């Protein structure tokens, strides 16, 4: 897999990040973080530049803007509906059990 998307819910907080960890590509991770209220998370999908690759020395990323709002509605402990910036809608499902 060239790109990793990791939505993580901690109680009533949400953190989502996406990046390409290969050292030979331009790294432009995206992320969003904030509260989950009534099983719904909504926040800007922020864009960064200059982040480190998996095997590289630490480099702090720089915020360069956002692509718009991402909304995640948790429909169960295993599934959610996502509305991406621009209005594209997708369904996601957890692929493992803890």
Note the pLDDT tens digit of each residue in 8-57: 554 555 555 555 555 555 557 788 888 889 999 999 999 888 777 677 78
* Residue 2 binned pLDDT confidence (cut-offs 50, 70, 90): very low
* Global model pTM greater than 0.85: no
Spell out a b/e string for 39-78, using b for 16 or more CB atoms within 10 Å of the CB, else e: eebbbbbbbbeebbeeeeeeeebeeeebeeebbbebeeee
Annotated domain spans of the chain: 4-93
CA distances from 49 to 1, 12, 28, 85 (A): 20, 28, 5, 19
**Token reading at 11:** 């109680």
In this structure, of 42-56, 57-71, 81-95, the range with the lowest mean pLDDT score is 42-56
90 pairs with which residues across the strands? Answer: 82
């Amino acid at each position: 897999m060239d790109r990793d998307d990791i939505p993580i819910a901690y109680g009533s907080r949400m953190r989502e990040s996406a990046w390409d960890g290969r050292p030979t590509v331009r790294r432009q991770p995206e992320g969003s973080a904030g509260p989950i209220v009534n099983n719904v998370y909504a926040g800007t999908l922020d864009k960064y530049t200059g982040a480190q690759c998996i095997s590289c020395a630490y480099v702090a990323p720089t915020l360069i803007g956002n692509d718009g709002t991402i909304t995640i509605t948790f429909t169960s402990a295993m599934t959610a509906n996502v509305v991406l910036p621009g209005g594209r809608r997708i369904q996601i499902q957890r692929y493992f059990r803890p």
